[in-house]
Structure 1
Amino acid sequence: MIKKILIANRGEIACRVIRTAKKMGIKTVAVYSDADANALHVRQADEAIHIGASPSSQSYLDIEKIIAAVKQSNADAVHPGYGFLSENPAFADRLEQEGIILIGPPANAMRAMGDKITSKKLAAGAGVSTVPGHMGLIVDADHAVKIAREIGYPVMIKASAGGGGKGMRIAWNDEEAREGFQASKNEAKSAFGDDRIFIEKFVSEPRHIEIQIMGDKHGDIIYLNERECSIQRRNQKVIEEAPSPFLDEKTRKAMGEQAVALARAVNYHSAGTVEFIVDGKRNFYFLEMNTRLQVEHPITEMITGLDLVELMIRIADGEALPLSQNDVKRNGWALECRLYAEDPYRNFLPSTGRLTRYNPPVATDDNNEVKIRNDGGVYEGGEISIYYDPMISKLVTWGKNRQMAIQAMQEALDSFELEGIGNNLPFLSAVMRQKRFQEGKLTTAYIAEEFPDGFHGVSPTPDEARSFAAIAAFINFKLQERAAMISGTLDNHRRIVKNEWVVSIFDQSFPLVIEVDHAGAKLEFADGEQISLESHWLPGMTICQFSVSDRSNMVVKVDVKGTSIRLRHGGIDAIAHVREPNIAALAALMPKKLPPDTSKMLLCPMPGVITAIFVKKGDEVEVGQPLAIVEAMKMENMLRSEKKSKIGEISVKVGQSLGVDETIMEFE
């Protein structure tokens, strides 16, 4: 049996592999860069070896340094996780040459599936459904109609030299095929000087659904159901679930069998995923095969009861699969939300810095109704670096059905305390609340369609606004009560705290009267509406459950700063001020503080490093002209001029690290 595993990765996946290895009694070796010297995976492993500088090219992607670390630690095997070297056939070859076990698939499978053209040819040869199309050139409109009929409408008419949407038309019938051919041809000639046209199937209402497969070295391969990964942003998965709310048993079986057929075609073993695009009529087409463990593997584990990392280790050690296809279970429903260090209010730009608070919801695995799991690789006080992927953790919930899993996720997101950096928690909460998501009407365009102008938070309903006002009034009363008790003005439990208050929240004022008892409070608003509130919140608590009339079990994050009370729940983020009526009347007369004028400044939109500056003082610049590049978390962000202007002072140099809103340059 394998006795020691070196994990050629970092972050949450390294911690994930360590967890299973410990369960199996296997020693683990972590590798780390300069930036990860104090990382969680380094703390959790039995041994840790430094492999280089912070940039991944000088550490986690350096094959020779990984090999040297394996030899230094006398590890038997390497688990590459995902990303970095996990699908690198050259790395697999080097391990084989050195007699080191790779906990992953063979190099030939990586090569075959890593090339898009080769993989599609192999898929077609293995009987896997691929996107129909005619890659030859279309001669004229009649030819376009003929090919379109053969493929089946709708079709996508594309310019061979196309890009940016130019020379592209969708045709749903013969007439549109004729018109689209000529329009695409004319547009392509004008835009690219090349009017060659081809046609392929247009996949309407596209969903991204993938099949998890697992194979051993004895020729047995099974599929472990599917995962729905349609909710994506910039082709980056954000929310996944298993099973898919869209597939029926017939389609699921067909997709699974085709995934297994493809794996057999390349003599595959270990964990792998075959990805498909599925249209609104459940027609499915091969996209690609990922020859590694997927980020979203926990939801498959939750519905099957299997430990995929353990299976990978046992298969690498030569063991046969312990189950057949008929043994694969599908129990309940699981959701995964990816928590990213990115600011949803700033177009999801990366965020770096220190986690001043990191308190995930308590994991549960013994509840028959719901389960919670958080796969993380960080800790409170730890640093989120600019060098690597922005993922903080993966929050997973399981329920007996989809509705229960969603409800569990809503409560888990509300209970997740994450402070110090921008993060997408409020965005994830917002999606969970949406009717379209709850109905399972998902496509790969979901985020673009539901948030066309970006994410700006969740606006409360009138009832929610009143509930938040009631919670703020209750918290304020408890704070006032404590202050009175400290000052000695409470006598024999007789309150002298006033009962009449005005809550300012959501640009509204809520005059009310509050009566507090041991279980909560009763509130009456100026319009006569009465609300009962139950809670055991006490000063100092940062998170608590509130039951407001019929809105039971609202998990609310509470942050008291001075005279303001910040409340967060379900993607709603509000600042409340609770004042006595006479003070509230005066506050209403106060002018609002205007934000500073930054129109003549170029500010850094995210924490990052200036990698290029294209202008100098005195230059005249036009609208859209490149000014500088900021790089963070493997993302290069070009900053351009928004208006015609003249460059004034430049405050930074190439190579300088900046925080959010630091000045890069000024305009005259």
Structure 2
Amino acid sequence: MFKKILIANRGEIACRVIKTARKMGIQTVAIYSDADKNALHVKMADEAVHIGPSPANQSYIVIDKVMQAVRQTRAEAVHPGYGFLSENKLFAEALAKEGVAFIGPPSGAIESMGDKITSKKIAQEADVSIVPGNMGLIKDADEAVKISGEIGYPVMIKASAGGGGKGMRIAWNDDEAREGFQSSKNEAANSFGDDRIFIEKFVTQPRHIEIQVLADAHGNCIYLGERECSIQRRNQKVIEEAPSPFLDEATRKAMGEQSCALAQAVGYTSAGTVEFIVDGDRNFYFLEMNTRLQVEHPVTELITGIDLVEQMIRVANGEKLSISQDDVKLNGWAMESRLYAEDPYRNFLPSIGRLTRYRPPAEITDATHVVRNDTGVFEGGEISMYYDPMIAKLCTWGPDRAQAIDHMRNALDAFELEGIGHNLPFLSAVMDHPKFTSGNITTAFIEEEFPEGFQGVTLPQDDLRKLSAAAAAMYRVAEIRRTRVSGRMDNHERKVGDDWVVLIDGYEWPVTIAADPKGATVSFDDGTTHRVVSDWTPGDSLAVLQIDDTPMIVKVGKVSGGFRLRFRGADLAVKLYTPRQAELARLMPEKVAPDTSKLLLCPMPGLIVNVAVQAGDEVQDGQALCTVEAMKMENILRAERTAKVTKINANAGDNLAVDDVIMEFE
């Protein structure tokens, strides 16, 4: 077995590989850029080597620099993780020349399957069903429009070397095909150093289901079930689960056998994933093969009990698979939620900054319950603009789908994250969405269910009442503590009252609190009561509560006259008044927000790639105004109405902060 391996990656996947290597008694080497000098993967590894400036194209994807680190540390093998150089045949070949093992497939398989155009041709020759499209490379936007029209809209514009949702656009008309071609080309060049583009038919009502395969160099190949990856935004997966709630055993077997046949046709070894689009009749179409470990591999590990990273290392060491197809049993259900540094209230635009608080839920493994958090960050660390915005992969397992979802709800409620915009509220909203819980989902789920973007969650009145009862009980405890700390509590000091008025999400509820040593009973003026039991103390940022028979985990923040409570995707400002204070509060005027309707504000920290209009131009609703690049993704900002541009405040090449004014309108 290898004594030392180098991980040619960063973030959570580097940390993930280090954990398995440590378990196997293998020493590890981390590489890092300027931005990552204090990163978690650097701290976890036995050795670390600096490889260059922060941009990935000057550090992590420069083969010569990675090879220099391999030579310097005398690593015997390299695990590439995913992204970066993981599907780069030149990197695999460079390692082979040095006599260093590549913990992945042969370079020939990477070349054949890693390129989307070539892989589709091979799949077609192997009688694997493929999506209709144009397999030739597209030279310019005019040709993209022409081919899109011939295939028939909608179409998917894809980077041949793409992955992770980058370099991909859906076009429904000629204008979108033209714009999508250029953005896909730019993103592909920046992310992969390869700007080749092709176009295929976009299958409507699709489900994205993929098969995990594992092959050795001795002719053995098995499949480890499937993963449902249909909850996507901009073709980037957000929530994955295993198995799929849609497949039956016959379809699973057919997809698995085709996946293994395809892998063996190209001499594939190591872990790999064959991706399919599946329609409502369970017809499946080959999309591509990812010749690497997938981001969502933990859900497969949780339902099979197989450590995929360990298997990859053993295969690279020349060992035979110790598992046969008959040994693969799918046990229970697993969910993965990708926690991104993206602000859902700003249309999921990237957010960067310092993690002032990062407290994931406790990891648990027992016979009925698993909580796992794969991460590459820590409290006090920085989220950089240079890399993918993923912070962590929160995974849960349960005996069935309903229990796996319920465990995920509780884990998301308990996940504390402050300092940046993030998608925790959105993930919670999905877990409670009836369409998701029913399993009736497609890749259009987010677009269809949140057409105006994510505006937060409106909780049912019953949940609001329970939160009101909890807030009242907690506020009473906080007020008692405040009076005691002030030193004013004596026989002449007023006692904290039992009558309060709770203002929450537009409701105003008078309540009466009857406290006892074990908890409090909160009564509403309509006769409803809720029993609140908790060991919460003032200052705690997390409240673990039992309200009646319902356990609840609520994030608590202090605001003047109440709390900021976050629960199941809702973010609530809760005010608590005495009856007299409530009477006076009703007389106070509401604060009016400033009018920014005549300004185009930069929605996230980023680089202005281009400005598409000039001062004096008349713009129409939906017209592209400028493009902002952040975290390797291009974001086109569009006009929301017809208007005249009066002033341009930013130019291509400018780096802007959140809410910087890009342009002004009449």
Pairwise same-fold verdict (TM > 0.5):
yes
Partner residue of 1:394? 393
Residue 513 of structure 1 aligns to a residue in which SS? strand
Partner residue of 2:403? 404
Measure, in 2, the Cα distance between the counterparts of 1:36 and 1:203: 40
Q: Is the 8 A contact 1:621 1:641 kept in 2?
A: no
Partner residue of 2:444? 445
Alignment CA distance shift 1:409-1:596 (3 Å): same
- CA deviation profile, 1:532-567 (whole Å, cap 9, x unmatched): 2111111011112222224x1111000012323111
**Structure 1 residues 95-104 or 312-321, which shifts more?**
95-104
Superposition deviation, residue 205 in structure 1 = 3.5
Superposition deviation, residue 495 in structure 1 = 8.4
Structure number, greater radius of gyration: 1
Residue 326 of structure 1 aligns to a residue in which SS? helix
Measure, in 1, the Cα distance between the counterparts of 2:135 and 2:408: 44
Q: Is the 8 A contact 2:504 2:574 kept in 1?
A: yes
Measure, in 1, the Cα distance between the counterparts of 2:289 and 2:43: 33
Q: Is the 8 A contact 1:604 1:663 kept in 2?
A: yes
Partner residue of 1:147? none
For residues 239-254 of structure 1, the aligned pairs below 5 Å read 239-254=239-254
Measure, in 2, the Cα distance between the counterparts of 1:222 and 1:391: 30
Work out the percentage of aligned pairs sharing the same amino acid. Answer: 60
TM-score by length of 1: 0.87
Measure, in 2, the Cα distance between the counterparts of 1:439 and 1:476: 38
Partner residue of 1:313? 313
Alignment CA distance shift 1:314-1:646 (3 Å): closer
Structure 1 counterpart of 2:554, from 530, 553, 556: 556
Partner residue of 1:300? 300
Amino acid at match of 1:638: I
**Structure 1 residues 491-500 or 524-533, which shifts more?**
491-500
Superposition deviation, residue 493 in structure 1 = 14
Measure, in 2, the Cα distance between the counterparts of 1:329 and 1:368: 16
Measure, in 2, the Cα distance between the counterparts of 1:167 and 1:25: 53
- Aligned residue pairs total 617
Alignment CA distance shift 1:209-1:476 (3 Å): same
Partner residue of 2:187? none
Measure, in 1, the Cα distance between the counterparts of 2:287 and 2:492: 69
Measure, in 1, the Cα distance between the counterparts of 2:13 and 2:610: 33
Q: Is the 8 A contact 1:127 1:261 kept in 2?
A: no
Q: Is the 8 A contact 1:630 1:638 kept in 2?
A: yes
Partner residue of 1:210? 210
Measure, in 2, the Cα distance between the counterparts of 1:400 and 1:6: 36
- CA deviation profile, 1:565-587 (whole Å, cap 9, x unmatched): 11111111100110111111111
Amino acid at match of 1:14: A
Superposition deviation, residue 372 in structure 1 = 0.5
**Structure 1: which 5+ runs fail to align?**
137-157, 170-186, 193-199
Partner residue of 1:580? 578
Q: Is the 8 A contact 1:649 1:667 kept in 2?
A: no
Q: Is the 8 A contact 2:212 2:224 kept in 1?
A: yes
TM-score by length of 2: 0.88
Amino acid at match of 2:634: E
Partner residue of 1:384? 383
- CA deviation profile, 1:357-389 (whole Å, cap 9, x unmatched): 000000012x11101100000000000000110
Measure, in 2, the Cα distance between the counterparts of 1:494 and 1:438: 53
Partner residue of 1:224? 224
Superposition deviation, residue 491 in structure 1 = 5.1
For residues 582-597 of structure 1, the aligned pairs below 5 Å read 582-597=580-595
Partner residue of 2:528? 529
Residue 161 of structure 1 aligns to a residue in which SS? helix
Alignment CA distance shift 1:392-1:167 (3 Å): closer
Please state if 1:622 is matched with 2:619. Answer: yes
Amino acid at match of 1:290: N
Measure, in 2, the Cα distance between the counterparts of 1:249 and 1:476: 53
Q: Is the 8 A contact 1:519 1:536 kept in 2?
A: no
Measure, in 1, the Cα distance between the counterparts of 2:346 and 2:133: 39
For residues 2-151 of structure 1, the aligned pairs below 5 Å read 2-131=2-131
Please state if 1:483 is matched with 2:482. Answer: yes
Please state if 1:516 is matched with 2:515. Answer: yes
| Cα RMSD (Å) | 2.7
Q: Is the 8 A contact 2:154 2:202 kept in 1?
A: no
Please state if 1:539 is matched with 2:576. Answer: no
Residue 162 of structure 1 aligns to a residue in which SS? helix
Residue 318 of structure 2 aligns to a residue in which SS? coil
Measure, in 2, the Cα distance between the counterparts of 1:537 and 1:117: 57
Alignment CA distance shift 1:663-1:262 (3 Å): same
Superposition deviation, residue 467 in structure 1 = 1.3
Superposition deviation, residue 531 in structure 1 = 1.9
Alignment CA distance shift 1:58-1:207 (3 Å): same
Measure, in 1, the Cα distance between the counterparts of 2:135 and 2:42: 50
Partner residue of 1:143? none
For residues 597-636 of structure 1, the aligned pairs below 5 Å read 597-613=595-611, 619-623=616-620, 627-636=625-634
**Structure 1 residues 273-282 or 262-271, which shifts more?**
273-282
- CA deviation profile, 1:79-121 (whole Å, cap 9, x unmatched): 1100011111111111112222100001111111133343223
Measure, in 2, the Cα distance between the counterparts of 1:573 and 1:105: 46
- CA deviation profile, 1:371-421 (whole Å, cap 9, x unmatched): 110000000000000011010000000111111111110100000001111
Measure, in 1, the Cα distance between the counterparts of 2:2 and 2:651: 51
- CA deviation profile, 1:190-244 (whole Å, cap 9, x unmatched): x99xxxxxxx998564211111001111111111111111111111111111111
Amino acid at match of 1:349: L
Q: Is the 8 A contact 2:435 2:441 kept in 1?
A: yes
Q: Is the 8 A contact 2:643 2:665 kept in 1?
A: no
Superposition deviation, residue 591 in structure 1 = 1.0
Structure 2 counterpart of 1:162, from 125, 140, 148: 148
- CA deviation profile, 1:493-526 (whole Å, cap 9, x unmatched): 9981011111111012111111222222111112
Alignment CA distance shift 1:620-1:204 (3 Å): closer
Measure, in 2, the Cα distance between the counterparts of 1:116 and 1:428: 30
Alignment CA distance shift 1:517-1:267 (3 Å): same
Partner residue of 1:371? 370
- CA deviation profile, 1:249-274 (whole Å, cap 9, x unmatched): 11111111111000110011001001
**Structure 2: which 5+ runs fail to align?**
137-143, 156-172, 179-199
Measure, in 1, the Cα distance between the counterparts of 2:443 and 2:154: 19
Measure, in 2, the Cα distance between the counterparts of 1:549 and 1:559: 23
Measure, in 2, the Cα distance between the counterparts of 1:29 and 1:487: 54
Superposition deviation, residue 626 in structure 1 = 5.4
Measure, in 2, the Cα distance between the counterparts of 1:628 and 1:247: 43
Please state if 1:273 is matched with 2:273. Answer: yes
Q: Is the 8 A contact 1:159 1:168 kept in 2?
A: no
Residue 558 of structure 2 aligns to a residue in which SS? strand
Q: Is the 8 A contact 1:352 1:607 kept in 2?
A: yes
Partner residue of 2:256? 256
Measure, in 2, the Cα distance between the counterparts of 1:165 and 1:518: 71
**Structure 1 residues 26-35 or 91-100, which shifts more?**
91-100
Alignment CA distance shift 1:58-1:233 (3 Å): same
Alignment CA distance shift 1:626-1:280 (3 Å): closer
Partner residue of 2:434? 435
Measure, in 1, the Cα distance between the counterparts of 2:609 and 2:127: 48
Partner residue of 1:153? none
Measure, in 2, the Cα distance between the counterparts of 1:517 and 1:6: 59
Partner residue of 2:504? 505
Measure, in 2, the Cα distance between the counterparts of 1:167 and 1:323: 44
Alignment CA distance shift 1:631-1:117 (3 Å): closer
Partner residue of 1:419? 418
Q: Is the 8 A contact 1:95 1:102 kept in 2?
A: yes
Amino acid at match of 2:265: A
Alignment CA distance shift 1:659-1:262 (3 Å): same
Alignment CA distance shift 1:649-1:442 (3 Å): closer
Measure, in 1, the Cα distance between the counterparts of 2:530 and 2:154: 57
